Amino acid sequence: MKYAIIGTGAIGGFYGAQLANAGEEVHFLLNSDYAIVKEEGLHVISEVYSDIHLEKLNAYQHAIDMPACDVILVCLKTTSNASLLPSLVQPLLHSGSVIILIQNGLGVEADVAAMFPGVGVAGATALVSVYKVGPGQMHHLDYGDIEIGNYNVQDTTIIDKVVAAFDNTGLISRKAEDLNTLRWRKLVWNITFNGMCVVLNTTANKLLADRATYNLSKEIMHEVILGANACGAALPESMVYDMLQFTIAMRPYAPSMKLDYDAKRPMELKYIYENPVAMAKTAGYYMSKVDMLLQQLLFLGRY
C-alpha cells in the first residue's frame, strides 16, 4: 500500500520512518523542513530501538505534488484540522483511500468525516515519547505502541493491513474493538497530565513525586473514568493505579500540550477538554475538576 504522512513532525516523522524503514512505500509532506530533509534525509535517534536514517525518501512540500495514497496518516495537531486538512488531504484521495487520524481527543473523527463525505475515517492513539529536536530530526525516548479504531471505514481489512504493517516494524500495534473506548482511555492520561503540566509549569514525573499533586492527579483520573463510563466507554477503576505506575516509570517527560504552550502555539483544548466535558455532561455526569482545569487553560491561552 501507499502511505501518506500529513505532518512530518515528531509523531509523523517517527511512525513514517518506521514504516519506510520496514519497506513500505511512504510519502512525506513537509513544510519548513522540506529543503533540509530533501538534502540530508530524515533521522530518528532512539533510546530504545535502532536509530533510523532515511537518506532518500519521498519528500514533498506541496500535497498537490504527491500521488494518491491508500492510507493517509494525519499527524498534525488538531488545531490545524479545520484550516489545513481540506487542501492537504483532498489531492491524495482515490476511491478506496482511508484517513487515519493519529491525533488526540474526542470527536475529531466526526469532524474530519464531515469534511470528506464518503471517505473512510479511523482514529489512532499513540503511546510514544518522541520530540522533534531539529529539521527532520526526532529524538525517541520511549515506547511506540499504536492502536487503531474504526469510525466509518466500510472494508476494515485495510485497517488490519495497517496494523500488520506497523507490527512488521517491531512496534506493538493493535486494532481496537471500540473507537469511543480507545479515545476515552487515552484521555484518562491526556486530560490529567497535559493540563496540569501547563497550569503548574512542570513535568509529569514531578507531579507524581509530590503527595498533593499525586492525589489530585488520581482524583482527576477517576473523574475522567466516570465521564467515560457515562459516555458508554466501560473503563475500569483499576486503570488509575496502573496508569500512575506507568507514568512514574516513564522517563521524565513534558507532554505535548506543555511543549505547545511553552512555544506559544495553540493548545489542543477543543478535543482534549471541551468535547469530553460537554459530552459527559450531556450523558449525565459533570467532570467538575476537568472543567476547572479547562477554564484555567483557556485563561492561559488568552494571555
| Residue among 186, 270, 281, 289 flagged as catalytic | 186
Instruction: Write the DSSP assignment of 181-246 as a string of letters.
Output: HHHHHHHHHHHHHHHHHHHTT--HHHHHHSHHHHHHHHHHHHHHHHHHHHTT----THHHHHHHHH
Q: Active-site residue 186, yes or no?
A: yes
Give the C-alpha separation, 236 to 191, whole Å: 17
- 135 near 33, Cβ under 8 Å? yes
H helix runs in the chain, sequence order: 10-21, 34-40, 81-89, 108-115, 157-168, 179-199, 204-209, 211-230, 238-249, 256-262, 269, 275-282, 288-302
Local structure of 289: helix, strand or coil: helix
User: What residues are labeled active site?
Assistant: 186
